[in-house]
Chains A and B, each alone.
Chain A
């Protein structure tokens, strides 16, 4: 199962972290569901680590993977 940089569109990196005032950058992030862990490249605040999940990812690939894991 892959959730890599394809998940990030340039527009996503325009968001900034309100805590730190920094633009988000792609970074490897560990996500987990039902005991399964994956590393995915996601937009993240380079200073505090706040991660963004976009609508497209949440309702697209992520939903797909969730579904597969639920039926495992």
Chain B
């Protein structure tokens, strides 16, 4: 990933944009945090929030006119948060002591004329930057006008404390400054390096300044420059007349401009974020109950309890729409903007650990995030792009997807692959393509469906068993995907390129993307047309689970509901269904790369309703069954397995069984329908095994197949390379059929072998490790 691509990804996610309150505040006071701290009764924390951005908080916190309220999102669900009253409640508590930050020292001298809010705010800012600041006050004492004007709201002690803190910054004060004397401003300018005028406190008519239509000096925000070089001013009206917070903000902006000007930097450049700005932060108000403002019992403001209650009304505006619906995004503790950065860092690392590999490989590529995101952030595209890049650079951890890729190879190999016209036909008007996982899960239903199609459609229905290449697609293995698709296409073309009847929406999605010339329709549509009746009426209502690969195919979702509904089965919609459906944890190979997360995902999915689920993807159905959720496949309604009493409780076949089912399906179809013999079983497949249920369960968890064990024992027995334990009589042997080494502890029993234990690793003992 290039830097500019990262920027594009990052800028798409607006989670880090300012909340509306902070964006609207001229000073960007973080009202969201203020509310959070206040709601928690953490007054010191609330103070810290104000101290970060508010000049003279002991004063401004009591008199702010809170223009932020107009944009507060709470206003769209009840009334805006009374942020000014919360500030007032906060500064009524003791101000936490702060160690004064060490101040650099600069030689330049700055004169601040007038000690209104803007002048004091500018003086503080400049003194903290190290300038030698003198405040010239025409009255008898510093901030005399401010004290008189706000006597009712601001107690003397609060103002005195703020002034004290300013004086601690070594600000000098000249009282009784002769500001009205002719030539005062010129003399000021001559005696120093820059001037700031606090026009909220004074505005002598004699000053030689350019004035606007209102008769006031011109100093546009946020640069605050007057027409005279080196003279900046604040304390002028805001957009809606005079406003204390605007005055204080103008002091801060003017100080920043002076600082830039003194350093020879353009004061006007990049000031967009000074003052209110537009924010793109999205906040969903869905389900937010409107609440009115808490009314203070006393006119002067909230007591603690009232403040806590009012702060509790704050929506804590965040987007996180995607994180709310995706356990994967939630489990890594952040949100897509951060993830994009982590992934970028992962990709640009030269030496050292790649921390984000798991993040990249755990996404199920289901696309729900993009659907719910107000900015269409597609985490699946980011993850897939990066997976491809990792594969290309040889940086993909081999263990991440290997198991699934081997399963794909199996489906593409001799034991499963099949492409034939209907017996007795030379051509196919249609081709049934059940997909590898339906065959792995319910081979007898594949056979039943095929029988039905052959009997009810004209012109010959061919059958094709293979793999569409989805695992390679999900793994970012483009070369493997290309060769799988090529093999697939060759088989399809050899049958005359017939239109497909699909049973798996993942296959359909892969073909749609990569083989758009293939015409396909869904089995459900065909079942509807052929007037297929429900054979096993279910005890509805059933909760409908759409596979994530149908997200953007409302037609498929509707067809399934139609066929099932027509037969009178009542359906219940899940909260996250149809376009918002969730992945079962198999998509994107999540279950291979991050089995724990995949387990959590399907468990949560299963918990969305108490009802039995109705799925129409074999993998979804089986994964629900794996976590103990009762679930039917739609085919269970139309093609019940003879003798099966309670199909919703049918356990999911394990990994080995899924292979066995495929191999047997092919062999039996070949024999029964086409009168052909299946290719002979390889010698090691004939090793007979005895496996206790707990060992089978352990193999399943460790993803060790029966065939892996057969290979180990076959080799060990043929070559004699095995260990034995004198007490137990157990043998221990290993074999490395691919990049993993399998170990099996076993004993001969009857014609076969009893398996006691099995485990695997990937590290290889170097050949030639002879003594």
A positions within 8 Å CB-CB of B = 14-19, 24, 27, 29-34, 37, 42, 44-53, 55, 57-59, 62-63, 65-66, 68, 70-72
B4: CB under 8 A from chain A? no
Question: Which of A16, A51, A68 is within 8 Å of B353, CB to CB?
Answer: A68
B176: CB under 8 A from chain A? no
B233: CB under 8 A from chain A? no
Q: How far is the CA of A27 from the CA of B765 in the complex (A)?
A: 13
B282: CB under 8 A from chain A? no
User: When each residue 730-761 of chain B gets 1 if its CB lies under 8 Å from chain A and 0 otherwise, what string results?
Assistant: 01101000000101000000000000010111
Nearest CB on A from B450, distance (A): 42
A24 nearest CB neighbor, chain B only: B723
Q: How far is the CA of A16 from the CA of B766 in the complex (A)?
A: 21
Question: Which of A18, A37, A42 is within 8 Å of B724, CB to CB?
Answer: A18
User: A46: which B residues are within 8 A, CB to CB?
Assistant: 771
Majority-rule SS of B interface residues: loop
B727: CB under 8 A from chain A? yes
- Cβ contact within 8 Å between A71 and B761: no
User: When each residue 126-151 of chain B gets 1 if its CB lies under 8 Å from chain A and 0 otherwise, what string results?
Assistant: 00000000000000000000000000
User: B722: which A residues are within 8 A, CB to CB?
Assistant: 18
From known contacts A31-B763, A31-B764, A68-B353, infer whether A18 and B743 are also in contact, taking CB-CB under 8 Å: no
B531: CB under 8 A from chain A? no
A70 nearest CB neighbor, chain B only: B397
Question: Which of A45, A48, A52, A66 is within 8 Å of B732, CB to CB?
Answer: A52
A-B pairs with lowest CB-CB distance, top 7 = A70-B397, A58-B761, A49-B770, A30-B766, A15-B723, A33-B763, A55-B759
User: B762: which A residues are within 8 A, CB to CB?
Assistant: 33, 66
User: B611: which A residues are within 8 A, CB to CB?
Assistant: none
Give residues of chain B (323-361) contacting chain A, Cβ–Cβ below 8 Å: 352-355, 357
User: A63: which B residues are within 8 A, CB to CB?
Assistant: 761
Give residues of chain B (352-403) contacting chain A, Cβ–Cβ below 8 Å: 352-355, 357, 397-400
User: B769: which A residues are within 8 A, CB to CB?
Assistant: 29-30, 44, 49, 51
B726: CB under 8 A from chain A? yes
Question: Which of B353, B355, B734, B757 is within 8 Å of A53, CB to CB?
Answer: B734
B204: CB under 8 A from chain A? no
User: A52: which B residues are within 8 A, CB to CB?
Assistant: 723, 732
B725: CB under 8 A from chain A? yes
User: B354: which A residues are within 8 A, CB to CB?
Assistant: 71-72
- Cβ contact within 8 Å between B353 and A72: yes
- Cβ contact within 8 Å between B757 and A55: yes
Q: How far is the CA of A59 from the CA of B769 in the complex (A)?
A: 22
User: A48: which B residues are within 8 A, CB to CB?
Assistant: 770
User: B734: which A residues are within 8 A, CB to CB?
Assistant: 53
User: B357: which A residues are within 8 A, CB to CB?
Assistant: 70-71
- Cβ contact within 8 Å between B761 and A66: yes
- Cβ contact within 8 Å between B761 and A15: no
Chain B residues with a Cβ closer than 8 Å to the other chain, count: 34
From known contacts A52-B732, A58-B760, A58-B761, infer whether A27 and B771 are also in contact, taking CB-CB under 8 Å: yes
User: B3: which A residues are within 8 A, CB to CB?
Assistant: none
User: B397: which A residues are within 8 A, CB to CB?
Assistant: 70-71
Question: Which of B352, B725, B771 is within 8 Å of A15, CB to CB?
Answer: B725
B516: CB under 8 A from chain A? no
Question: Which of A14, A45, A50, A66 is within 8 Å of B763, CB to CB?
Answer: A66
User: A47: which B residues are within 8 A, CB to CB?
Assistant: 771
B720: CB under 8 A from chain A? yes
Give residues of chain B (687-736) contacting chain A, Cβ–Cβ below 8 Å: 720-727, 731-732, 734
A34 nearest CB neighbor, chain B only: B398
From known contacts A16-B723, A50-B723, infer whether A31 and B353 are also in contact, taking CB-CB under 8 Å: no
Number of A-B contacts (CB under 8 A): 93
A48 nearest CB neighbor, chain B only: B770
B positions within 8 Å CB-CB of A = 352-355, 357, 397-400, 720-727, 731-732, 734, 741, 743, 757, 759-766, 769-771
B394 nearest CB neighbor, chain A only: A34
- Cβ contact within 8 Å between B763 and A32: yes
Nearest CB on B from A11, distance (A): 9
Question: Which of A16, A53, A68, A72 is within 8 Å of B765, CB to CB?
Answer: A53
Q: How far is the CA of A66 from the CA of B397 in the complex (A)?
A: 10
A52 nearest CB neighbor, chain B only: B723
Nearest CB on B from A32, distance (A): 5
- Cβ contact within 8 Å between B724 and A16: yes
Nearest CB on A from B624, distance (A): 29
Nearest CB on B from A36, distance (A): 9
From known contacts A18-B731, A70-B398, infer whether A29 and B765 are also in contact, taking CB-CB under 8 Å: yes
A15 nearest CB neighbor, chain B only: B723
Q: How far is the CA of A19 from the CA of B722 in the complex (A)?
A: 7
- Cβ contact within 8 Å between A66 and B743: no
- Cβ contact within 8 Å between B761 and A62: yes
Nearest CB on A from B354, distance (A): 5
Q: How far is the CA of A27 from the CA of B722 in the complex (A)?
A: 18
Q: How far is the CA of A7 from the CA of B397 in the complex (A)?
A: 25
A25 nearest CB neighbor, chain B only: B771
Q: How far is the CA of A36 from the CA of B148 in the complex (A)?
A: 78
- Cβ contact within 8 Å between B726 and A16: yes
From known contacts A49-B769, A49-B770, infer whether A14 and B727 are also in contact, taking CB-CB under 8 Å: yes
Q: How far is the CA of A34 from the CA of B743 in the complex (A)?
A: 20
User: B770: which A residues are within 8 A, CB to CB?
Assistant: 48-49
26 A-B Cβ contacts within 8 A? A14-B727, A15-B723, A16-B726, A18-B720, A19-B721, A24-B723, A27-B771, A29-B766, A29-B769, A30-B765, A30-B769, A34-B398, A42-B765, A46-B771, A48-B770, A50-B721, A53-B741, A55-B757, A55-B759, A58-B760, A62-B763, A63-B761, A66-B763, A70-B398, A70-B399, A71-B355
Nearest CB on B from A43, distance (A): 9
Nearest CB on A from B733, distance (A): 9
- Cβ contact within 8 Å between A19 and B764: no
- Cβ contact within 8 Å between A33 and B764: yes
